[in-house]
Homo-oligomer: A and B are copies of this chain.
Amino acid sequence: MGGIAYLVGMSKALPHPGPEAIDLSAVLDALRDPIRRAIVLMVAEEGERRCSSFLHCTTKTNLTYHVARLREAGVVRVRVEGPARIVSLRRAELDARFPGLLDAVLAGTRQDPPLARLVETA
């Protein structure tokens, strides 16, 4: 293998903001949506999950959108593993930058019955 076609296919690294570049408006913006909060809660409780494990929340296309918003805000990390995308929480970086914020939002999310129905331990 060689040449341009090979390189194009290798665009695996997804853009993530650095730890210091995580912005409060962007984080609150990401966490304000119930679907995204459900995803974050599931990732917080299981450590790592594949994108496909969130398909009960919405459609495939829409999931790509919401996961990208969480990633671009610096809330989650997305890693490519074979054909799948593995989502994990950027807890240490978030806690360092905005102490207590994530835990407060997660606690509030757990108390939210309509939203808790979106949270599946798959």
Contacts and interface: CB of A to CB of B under 8 A. Distances in A.
Contact of A24 (B24, B100, B103, B109): B109
A56 interface: no
A34 B37 CA distance: 21
Given A32-B32, A100-B107, 19 more contacts: A24-B109, A25-B34, A25-B37, A28-B28, A28-B31, A28-B32, A97-B108, A98-B104, A98-B105, A98-B107, A98-B108, A99-B104, A99-B107, A100-B100, A100-B101, A100-B103, A100-B104, A101-B105, A104-B104
| Copies of this chain present | 2
5 contacts: A24-B37, A25-B37, A97-B108, A98-B104, A100-B107
